Amino acid sequence: MKELAGRLTALDPDAGAAVQVIAYFDRLSEARAGLEALVRGAAVLAGVPARLTDTDRRVHVRVEADGTRRDSTLPPDPAWPSTPLAPGGAAALWLERAEAAPSVVDAVILERAAGAVRLVLDRTRGRVPVDDPALVETVLDATAPEPARLHAARRLGLDPAAPARVLAPLDGRPRIVPALPEAAAPAGRVGVGPAVPVLDLPRSCAAARTALRFTAEGTAQDPGQCVVHADELGGIALLADLVAPGTEPPPDVHALEAAGAATPWLLATLHAVASTASLRAAAAEINVHHSTLQDRLSHAEHLLGWPLRTPQGRLRLQLALTMRHLARP
């Protein structure tokens, strides 16, 4: 192989380098090299950092061009050369090269390294863990014995030593995911629990369910955040204990509902005022002129019965909008 690579290099440097890459990863595979060694080989051969991401198996490895492992919390750049490890794109090998298209040698590095990585993942990590409802229920049951919960967590592919969090979607059962900084935001209305040790996941689940009550559809008639993180609520989370879902809502919520039914633009306008730093920012948020917003606020103040351009009035508005979410069944 070395002699062949030398001859090809004399004719075509890229072809010779490609043969050397193939031989290099063949030797690593024969030696049963691990994931970090394979990613290191890709980085050193390419002369740029390489990273392996497999979200489902909780594998994240990044190695600099000099062979030093240095993981990153930043997500991969879609423009970097990469190759998927499985259909769906949840796992991939990346070369951090800011070019439009990979070179021939880069393509060979990615192909051979990815092939070797797949073998190691299948051998050491098994198949991607299944999100078994019974196992999830066991992990989230605070009354279940600790050994049973740890066993269920391992069956789900969770590392008992690594933090995880619970996602509570509006439709569907809770999900357990690793607490990774680069994890993508979930779709739809979701409450996100805090990152906790595996044995504390029941607490994360309870917090996620509370956060879900603060979410909104994100429409003109139901403005607000679709995804709410429990650990960002702070003291506001105490409102969830004061306003029970499906009960008679507070008077300010009645006023909001009546005003919103009579004026289609009102709820989106009030949400912009309550959630931005200034009235000019609110006007830009809903794409109206500043003077138009002032006219709208005057009309809204008449309908609601309290001022909206004072600190106290704005706080009252924020609380009313929040309680509107919490009062829904």
| Mean pLDDT on 251-277 | 93
The per-residue pLDDT for 24 is: 84
Closest by CA position to 16, among listed 2, 29, 30: 2
| Mean pLDDT on 150-168 | 87
Q: How much of the chain, in percent, has pLDDT values that exceed 90?
A: 55
Rounded Cα–Cα distance for residues 285 and 240 (Å) = 28
Q: Given a cut of 60, is residue 86 above it in pLDDT?
A: yes
User: Considering the entire predicted model, what is its pTM?
Assistant: 0.63
User: Residues with Cβ < 8 Å from 188, sequence gap 6 or more?
Assistant: 169, 170, 171, 226
| Secondary element (H or E) of residue 326 | helix 311-326
Determine how many CB atoms are found less than 10 A away from the CB of residue 23: 15
The per-residue pLDDT for 16 is: 60
Partners of 176 in the β-ladder: 166
243: helix, strand or coil: coil
First to last CA, the chain: 70
Q: What is the pLDDT of residues 212-234, one digit of tens each?
A: 999 999 998 999 999 999 999 99
Confidence of residue 199 (pLDDT cuts 50, 70, 90): very high
Partners of 94 in the β-ladder: 51, 82
The per-residue pLDDT for 180 is: 74
Q: Which amino acid is at 187?
A: A
The position carrying tokens 């989106």 is 268
Q: What is the pLDDT of residues 282-324, one digit of tens each?
A: 999 999 999 999 999 999 999 999 999 999 999 999 999 999 9
Domains in the chain, ordered, with CATH? 2-124 (no CATH), 133-230 (no CATH), 243-326 (1.10.10.2840)
Sheet-wide strand order for 82-84: 59-63, 50-54, 91-95, 82-84
Rounded Cα–Cα distance for residues 194 and 58 (Å) = 18
Q: What is the pLDDT of residues 123-150, one digit of tens each?
A: 776 554 556 788 899 999 999 999 999 9
Confidence of residue 50 (pLDDT cuts 50, 70, 90): very high
Mean pLDDT of the chain: 86
Q: Where are the alpha helices (DSSP H) in 200-289?
A: 201-213, 239-242, 251-262, 266-275, 279-285
Structure tokens at 83: 């190759």
